[in-house]
Amino acid sequence: MEEILRTLEQQFAITHQNKMRDDLLFVDVKKDQIISLLTYLKDYAGFTHLAFLQAVDRIEDKKFQLTYMLYSFQLKTNLGIRVFIDREKAEMISIDKLWAHAWQYQRELKEMFGIDFPGSPRVDESFVLESWEEMPPMKRDFDTLEYSIKTYYQRPGRSTNDPKKYMKKKLYNNFAKSPDTGRKND
């Protein structure tokens, strides 16, 4: 794995790397090098399996973090390739030519985060949220409470409980000490 890392650092603009454990490593790369890096890893370094593609909304930085998690069956190692893209015009090149199943991840990220992957198959079709016309729900500035109040009927008689107090009362009420004896109630 060390040799692969040296090659990546020599050939690509790796901005950061983080070894989580012997079989899990993350590297950050610039957006314009993602296709060449992924191609190299797949064709020459043995990372043939795309395990998943996910996004994180880094609203404070005005960026989305995309993580391409690759797996090498020979090395028994996971390698996460992270790239940061602008949140305002969230667009990333499609990798469906490298891994045919990537279109499904890209379609989900378009629907849930609003990240576009131009040219990806079926990217503009609904994935889960048919007829959704709101802001993508996984963006951190999507207000779920506001959406819920606006969309769903509010039933009367509902109450809100502090979860800690509620569970303490619900689970441990029978174990409260008796004021007379100081012993637990049975």
CA 128 – CA 112 distance, rounded (Å): 9
User: pLDDT value at position 162?
Assistant: 86
User: pLDDT value at position 175?
Assistant: 66
- Tell me: the pLDDT tens digits for 123-161? 989 889 998 889 999 999 999 989 988 888 877 877 778
Count CB neighbours of 20 within 10 A: 10
- Tell me: the pLDDT tens digits for 63-104? 999 999 999 999 999 999 999 999 999 999 999 999 999 999
CA 116 – CA 85 distance, rounded (Å): 11
> What does the block give as tokens for 131?
């007829």
Q: Which one, of 18, 81, 29, lies nearest residue 53 by Cα?
A: 81
Alpha helices in 65-162 (DSSP H): 102-113, 144-151
To which residue do tokens 């990217």 refer? 123
Delimit the domains of the chain by residue range: 2-156
Superfamily classification of domain 2-156: NADH:ubiquinone oxidoreductase Nqo5 subunit (3.30.460.80)
Residue 55: beta bridge partners? 66
To which residue do tokens 């995309």 refer? 66
- Tell me: the pLDDT tens digits for 152-167? 887 787 777 888 888 8
